[in-house]
Chain A
Amino acid sequence: MIGFRTLLYKELLRFWKVGFQTVAAPVLTSLLYLLIFSHVLEGHATVNGIHYTAFLIPGLVMMSVLQNAFSNSSSSLIQAKVMGSVVFVLLPPFSYVEFYLAYMLAAMLRGLMVGVGVLAVTGWFAPLSAAAPLWIVVFAVIGGAIMGSLGMIAGIWADKFDQLAGFQNFLIVPLTMLSGVFYSIHSLPGFWQKLSHFNPLFYMIDGFRFGFFGVSDVAPLTSLIVASACFLTVATATLYMLRSGYKLRY
């Protein structure tokens, strides 16, 4: 257990040492999104009877959780691989489950930390309630775990920084931007509404938002089932990659 705890601690220390870049910067980015979108749309739009700014805040919080969880594990692994320092975590006697849990939990915790930060700075702009707080926590944790695992997959798969950037820019960013952070999918034309249902991140954001307002585009239980299935899929895939030594142990 000491080995696992040390690896988790090292992963936490890694991002905390550059906290300005890994925590403060994404909080600022989310604040800018809020200021711009709420300035343009507040008073012009309500979503499911909720003021636009209030609707936007949980979406931004969850988007930050998801993106930062992904960034943490993926950048940690690609940096270690490119710089060669990955040997320091490959030589010790970690089991692949310990290795997975340490990277995934650190990524999730960074995501949650940034999420709390975003909530703290944006929560002042609109009255927020917590209709079902347990859902808030459950979706934030599962979302962070999914994206932390996906970040591991991307970090292990990528050989170069630009491959990882491609994964992030062409897959993760579009999926988060088109997941209903900025709008309700009910406002979309039929085709795009249907397509959104194939985006797993939509369920995480919708379920997370349900925790605040008690209303959502789909039933929260459905979102939970989809999110849990996603987690099981990416966790299994990551564990399989680690066990086989894919791109880590040749």
Chain B
Amino acid sequence: MGVAVSVQQVVKCFGGLRALDGVSLNITEGEFFGLLGPNGAGKTTLISCLAGLVRATSGSLSVMGHDVAADYRASRRLLGVVPQELVFDPFFTVRETLQIQSGYFGIRDNGAWIDEILENLDLTAKANTNMRRLSGGMKRRVLVAQALVHKPPVIVLDEPTAGVDVELRQGLWSFIRRLNQEGHTIILTTHYLEEAETLCDRIAMLKQGKVVALDTTRNLLSRYAGHALILRLDNGTPLPGDLCARAVYTDGEWVVRLGGLDEIEPILAQLRLAGCRVLDLRLVQADLEDVFVSLMQGNVATPSGGLAS
């Protein structure tokens, strides 16, 4: 598999602000890649650099081997971007919008594919409705459709499910998954971390314009989070000394981080020996949110109660 997107040492300054501070990453063809980070981390700036909406101060970016500055016509043809802002052209109907967008990318007679996109995004009934008359969720679907009219091999979705109802979100993801299975590379930014955890093969986390983590979703979860044992003891009972030292007490519960599952039995034995009366015991596995929070705080993750295993 070749490289779909290459980002090398990209710096973008807006006045004194370094929105991107030496970002480097490669995204392989066919990957479902997540770009995560808090507001202002530089996700949209990075996407905008890739799309040519923003010009990098230094560094280079390419789409399917085509430099976004030197060979911008080829790189833009290979890229489909769903912008974060809910923007639309109020003069046209949904179908006109998609026909015009097809033409922009040099495609005539795109009716069959437009019909398929409309069908998959549940927009067929609104095809001849003016953009102004659509609800926010519908406008969001049209934005997705616009990014797909030219069947780009690389699709960038900048928070595509913000403000979108559950039903559409599921429909949208099954459509995007299908495109991914057909070979399209997907780059996703989202604030819904469970979406990223479910969908993305690999994730980059950005913080203040820098990549603070770049790995497969599975590795991120196991490296930064792992399991934890959550204990509720009978009123006032203290944890045995060495166990107490490695545990965190919050909301009436002790959270004991585990290096591995084989630590469970010795801990239980220690509790028995100390005569602790256990009222409740849960084993939890950290989710991406824990990883995200811990990375953004710059420390090691402590599982706070995600998926029970």
Contacts and interface: CB of A to CB of B under 8 A. Distances in A.
Contacts of B146: 88
Nearest to B76: A93
A37 interface: no
Given A90-B52, A249-B52, A250-B55, A85 B103 contact: no
A125 interface: no
A85 B101 CA distance: 12
Nearest to B45: A250
Contacts of B106: 2-3, 93
Nearest to A80: B89
Interface in A48-96: 80, 83-85, 87-95
A127 to B, nearest CB: 40
Contact of B53 (A5, A80, A249): A249
A22 to B, nearest CB: 11
A14 interface: yes
A91 B53 contact: yes
A87 B72 contact: no
Nearest to A14: B91
B261 interface: no
Contacts of A166: none
A104 B126 CA distance: 33
Interface of B: 14, 51-55, 72-74, 76-77, 79, 81, 83, 85, 87-92, 96, 100-108, 146
Contacts of B51: 91
Nearest to A6: B103
Contacts of B92: 13, 17
Interface string A223-250: 0000000000000000000000100011
Contacts of A10: 100, 103
Contacts of B55: 245, 249-250
A119 interface: no
Nearest to B104: A92
Given A90-B53, A93-B72, A3 B104 contact: yes
Contact of A88 (B52, B101, B108): B101
Contacts of A13: 91-92, 96
Contacts of B77: 93
A9 interface: yes
A34 interface: no
Given A13-B92, A84-B85, A87-B83, A6 B52 contact: no
A91 B52 contact: yes
B87 A2 contact: no
A204 interface: no
B105 A92 contact: yes
Q: Which 4 A-B pairs have the closest CB atoms?
A: A6-B103, A84-B87, A92-B104, A93-B73
Given A3-B105, A249-B52, A249-B55, A87 B73 contact: no
Contacts of B100: 6, 9-10
Nearest to B90: A83
A18 B91 CA distance: 8
B81 A5 contact: no
A13 B92 CA distance: 9
Interface in A177-235: none
Contacts of B74: 93
A88 B53 CA distance: 11
A7 interface: yes
Nearest to A17: B91
Q: Which residue of B52, B74, B92, B103 has the most chain A CB atoms within 10 A of its CB atom?
A: B103
Contacts of A7: 103-104
